[in-house]
Amino acid sequence: MTDQKMKLSALFSACWNDEALKARFMSDPRAVLKEYDIDVPDEVNVNIVENTDNTINITFPTAPDTSDNLTDQELGMAAGGSGKLQCSEGWGASVCQVCTPQC
């Protein structure tokens, strides 16, 4: 478990045992997080929601950054290939993503 997860776990446990702390955490999460040595950058918003017996909150993550992904041709070059995929006999052009002239 990471240090931050351990700190959050301690905070949640404290909130379950102290309604006043929980109320402060719900209304001013940034201040309570700071008290528990959990730093949140100023440009990051903090929203606290509580699950109940009949409500589950799911956090939808941001999409991963794909700007660093290599194209098939770049990947082939990085792996020592020619940058072109060779078609196997009988596969035909419908299976090739980057075709050589023999397809």
From the list 18, 45, 27, 88, the residue with the least C-alpha distance to 10 is 18
Over 50: is that where the pLDDT of 63 sits?
A: yes
CA distance readout (Å), 67 to 22, 30, 47, 61: 40, 32, 28, 17
pTM of the model: 0.58
Looking at per-residue pLDDT, the higher value among 55 and 78 belongs to: 55
Block residue for tokens 């699950």: 51
Helix, strand and coil content of the chain, in percent to the nearest 5, comes to 40, 0, 60
Average pLDDT of the chain, as a whole number: 80
| pLDDT for the residue 65 | 77
Q: How confident is the model at residue 97 (pLDDT cuts 50, 70, 90)?
A: very low
Over 50: is that where the pLDDT of 94 sits?
A: no
